[in-house]
């Protein structure tokens, strides 16, 4: 029988590590708020989220992270980032993605994970080709895709604010969701974003995660499931198998894990303000029945 930690020993929280790609260059429209939301939602459950910035010139070692985030920037900022992403971080990022690490890429970051971005002026920016998609800016006279947006996702809604001149077109890539109100990828085909394995590209700013707590928790759950892939969960969400060995190894007691990880995986939080903000965007878009359904569901 494995020995469990003494209850009077110091208990350390579960830890996840998030790599923030290009925090200085790609941080338009408050996208850093996505990381603040992830950190807070982890903290309230006794999970420590460590955030490591990865700038131009930094290599990406995939085994050092549990999640990755890349935000959006202006075209002039994306050019040096595109080169660095391809030359310095491409191999590590591809390895992380193929190993099902959750990755959230917003706006410019989303564009750079497709095949290429063709700006209004200047040469094409080569992307990693994670998504079978491409983006083209149709020139300064073409109207921007700007304003509040709501999409359907997994039987629920995601809301945000979009502001992009480029139009993204999907090849075989699966969209993140279908546009209910707004422009989405290109204001033509009602698609928004793209998905490959556990990598999610989207144009939703605003920030995305503060107004969509269900999507934030979904990403956290993916990270936990992947980190503890050699474990199995019971109906109550507690680790089976070599659970006690794992608990001692990461410096947490079984009791602490029980408080932190429960079915479906994360303990619910008091999210009334978050859902009111979500519903407010739906109301601004004239989606009153959807807003009422959201409030009714989460108040009950």
The catalytic site residues sit at 107, 205
284 labelled ligand-binding: no
The alpha carbon torsion through 48, 53, 59, 63 (nearest 10 deg) reads 10
Q: Residues 6 or more apart from 121 whose CB is under 8 A from it?
A: none
Residue 85: φ, ψ to 5°: -60, -40
For tokens 């474990």, the residue is 231
CA 141 remoteness from chain centre: 32
- Annotated binding residues for substrate: 144
- Annotated binding residues: 144
């Amino acid at each position: 029988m494995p020995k469990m930690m003494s209850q009077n020993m110091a208990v350390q929280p579960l830890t996840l590590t998030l790599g923030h790609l290009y925090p200085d260059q790609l941080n338009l429209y408050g996208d850093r708020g996505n990381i603040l939301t992830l950190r807070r939602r982890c903290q309230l459950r006794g999970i420590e989220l460590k955030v490591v910035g990865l700038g131009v010139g930094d290599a990406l070692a995939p085994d050092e992270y549990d999640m990755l985030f890349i935000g959006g920037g202006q075209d002039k900022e994306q050019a040096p980032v595109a080169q660095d992403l391809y030359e310095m971080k491409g191999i590590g990022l591809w390895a992380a993605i193929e190993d099902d690490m959750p990755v959230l890429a917003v706006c410019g970051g989303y564009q750079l994970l497709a095949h290429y971005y063709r700006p209004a002026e200047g040469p094409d920016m080569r992307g990693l080709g994670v998504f079978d998609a491409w983006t083209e800016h149709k020139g300064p006279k073409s109207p921007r895709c700007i304003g509040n947006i709501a999409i359907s996702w997994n039987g629920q809604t995601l809301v945000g604010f979009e502001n992009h001149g480029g139009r993204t077109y999907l090849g075989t890539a699966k969209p993140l969701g279908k546009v209910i109100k707004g422009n989405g990828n290109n204001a033509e085909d009602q698609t928004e974003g793209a998905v490959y394995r556990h990598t999610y590209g989207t144009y939703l700013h605003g920030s995305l995660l503060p107004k969509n707590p269900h999507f934030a928790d979904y990403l956290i759950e993916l990270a936990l499931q992947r980190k503890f892939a050699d474990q199995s969960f019971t109906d109550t969400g507690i680790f089976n198998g070599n659970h006690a060995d794992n608990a001692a190894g990461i410096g947490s007691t079984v009791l602490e894990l029980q408080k932190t990880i429960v079915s479906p995986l994360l303990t619910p939080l008091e999210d009334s303000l978050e859902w009111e903000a979500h519903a407010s965007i739906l109301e601004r878009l004239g989606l009153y029945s959807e807003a009422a359904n959201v409030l009714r569901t989460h108040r009950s």
